[in-house]
Amino acid sequence: MTHRLEMKQMTKKYGEFTANDQVSLTLEAGEVHAIVGENGAGKTTLMRMLYGMEQPTAGEILLNGKPVSFRGPNDAIRNGIGMVHQHFMLFGEFSVAENIVIGYEPKQAGFFRRKEAVEKVSALSEQYRIPINPQARVSTCSVGEQQRVEILKVLYQGADIIVLDEPTAVLTPLEVKDLLQTIRNLAASGKSVILITHKLQEVMEVSDRITVLRGGRVTGTVSRHETNVDDLARLMVGRELEELSQRIPLEGKRLLHVDQVTVREKQTLLDNVSFAVHHGEIVGIAGVSGNGQSELLQVISGLRPVQAGKIHLAGADVTNKSVESIRQAGLAHIPEDRYMWGTAKQESVEENALMGYQRKPDYYRRGVILRDAFRQVVRGWVDRFAIKTGSRQLQELAGNLSGGNLQKLIVARELGQETPLLVAAEPTRGVDIGAMEYIHQALIEKRNSGDGILLVSSELSEILALSDRILVMYKGRIAGELARSEATEEKISVLMAGGNVHGSDQRAV
């Protein structure tokens, strides 16, 4: 039997480090093949070799039974392979149609035929049941819509094999459902899809076969019907996952008080929002992206001013104070966007880890940063969180780390602040299941120690697993509150859509 794609004994070495060690897999027409593994397991490196972005140290790639060798992505595209990267490569000021046809524009006498481009994109959208407005400006599109643009772009280029790298990492639950349906539609039309993801529930929903990588090697390739989430997790991490620590019942005093906060720009972004976080509790905030969660985090952490209302932290009025002042008052912050707010990609791992510690007495004396002492702390974080930093270790540029490893560095840095309040926005975004287990455990331990945590997550399973109370935001307001004992995905989903749930009146205690 001739496979649409066969990768045989693929090996990639960077000096002494082996990223992929004799990895083999096959892909059939109309198949969805998931590749799963922890951060640094070698998933993206394998796909970069397939897409011509990296040259293998050893191994062979066959397309429809014939050996191929790609010098770059253009070679892969010409051979029917397209890749949708985790971070989109779109021009915001161009239209959807212009982004899709760029490089392959319909022309006449050297002039771009815009109307024909729109017609072609419309036909492609209809053929693959991927809804999009070809004339919309990309900068006005949601993240989910931008992802559709990327998928349509590789289809327009003639891809029969489509690689999706962590495609649901930044999507809302509704957008995830839409994407999974798109993947099913692509497979049904005869396209082959390689899905790189950490999210095992999604793998079980949409994949036909699953290859698991650990430490650059294949630990198993299984049919979806022959496995389950627990078995896949064991193959990924090489052990049984542990249960979360039990919650210690605590009745702490009020730590954070957000009182009738309103934020207006061209429109009202936060509308009279009130709630509290107490010592020894995790308050989760759920909601569809764009309903005020981002703005709420920004006003609490000092990144955005409020027009009305007050914010108190540990008894101090921190309303419209500077970021530094609020952090000194007792706040640590895992930001929702690790690249925009959480790191400086062009600086080293060490410099990024140092953010927020450069004036602490243990690491700063007489105008000099005590780097040797601080490096010992950072190395401890690297070991505890299994952060893969690359061959240059602490001097590796942060931008060279995978998204998941960069996320683990930020989480370690902010937990290390040991502040009474932690604002944790999407704390496990893009991390593997083993790291997720460790981060969840660390958050529960912080809560049990008497600190407070404000948790914002688009993953309802994460909100339900960690929160003592759950607030749901809708159109800039708190739509309802649920105690841990009464919260279900169904009730939260109703509130997220603006509906009512009995017993979910807002409380600001």
Q: Do the beta carbons of residue 311 and residue 454 sit within 8 Å?
A: no
Residue 60 falls inside a structural domain: yes
421-468 tens-digit pLDDT:
999 999 988 777 778 888 999 999 999 999 999 999 988 889 999 999
Range of the domain at 91: 5-237
Residues 317 and 352 in one domain: no
Residues 106 and 188 in one domain: yes
The total number of structural domains in the chain stands at 3
Residue 100 falls inside a structural domain: yes
In the structure, what pLDDT confidence band is assigned to residue 502 with cuts at 50, 70 and 90? low
Q: Please tell me which residue, 498 or 414, carries the higher pLDDT value.
A: 414
Residue 202 falls inside a structural domain: yes
Residue 244 falls inside a structural domain: no
Residue 243 falls inside a structural domain: no
Provide the residue count of the chain.
509
Q: Please tell me which residue, 197 or 29, carries the higher pLDDT value.
A: 29
394-403 tens-digit pLDDT:
999 998 887 7
Residues 314 and 450 in one domain: yes
317-343 tens-digit pLDDT:
999 999 999 999 999 999 988 888 889
Residues 260 and 170 in one domain: no
The pLDDT of 36-64, averaged and rounded, is 92
Predicted pLDDT of residue 134: 94
Residues 374 and 470 in one domain: no
Predicted pLDDT of residue 433: 79
**386: nearest Cα among 215, 506, 227:** 215
The residue out of 237, 263, 280 marking a domain boundary is: 237
Residue 315 falls inside a structural domain: yes
Residues with Cβ within 8 Å of residue 270, at least 6 apart in sequence:
261, 262, 263, 292, 295, 296, 299, 306, 476
Predicted pLDDT of residue 504: 42
Query: Does residue 100 have a pLDDT over 60?
Result: yes
Residues with Cβ within 8 Å of residue 406, at least 6 apart in sequence:
338, 342, 343, 398
Range name among 67-71, 123-127, 130-134, 427-431 with the lowest pLDDT average: 427-431
352-395 tens-digit pLDDT:
999 988 888 888 888 888 888 899 999 999 988 888 887 788 99
Predicted pLDDT of residue 373: 87
Residues 253 and 380 in one domain: no
111-124 tens-digit pLDDT:
898 999 999 999 99
Residues 40 and 170 in one domain: yes
The residue out of 214, 237, 260 marking a domain boundary is: 237
Range name among 159-168, 245-254, 480-489 with the lowest pLDDT average: 245-254
Residue 242 falls inside a structural domain: no
In the structure, what pLDDT confidence band is assigned to residue 508 with cuts at 50, 70 and 90? very low
Q: CA torsion, points 185, 189, 194, 196, in degrees to nearest 10?
A: -10
Residues 503 and 472 in one domain: yes
Residues 232 and 298 in one domain: no
Scan for tokens 């009745």, then name that residue.
251
Distance of alpha carbon 378 from alpha carbon 369, whole angstroms: 14
Q: Please tell me which residue, 399 or 242, carries the higher pLDDT value.
A: 399
Residues 445 and 363 in one domain: no
Residues 405 and 357 in one domain: yes
**59: nearest Cα among 120, 13, 106, 100:** 13
What CATH number does the domain containing 427 carry?
Answer: 3.40.50.300
Show the CA angle centred on residue 498, arms to residues 492 and 499, nearest 5°.
70
Backbone angles phi, psi at 217, to 5 degrees: -120, 155
Residue 382 falls inside a structural domain: yes
203-241 tens-digit pLDDT:
999 999 999 999 899 999 999 999 998 899 888 887 777
In the structure, what pLDDT confidence band is assigned to residue 509 with cuts at 50, 70 and 90? very low
Residue type, 100: I
Q: CA torsion, points 474, 468, 172, 503, in degrees to nearest 10?
A: -40
Query: SS3 sequence, 135-179?
Result: CCEHHHCCHHHHHHHHHHHHHHCCCCEEEEECCCCCCCHHHHHHH
The residue out of 392, 415, 438 marking a domain boundary is: 415
Residues 273 and 343 in one domain: no
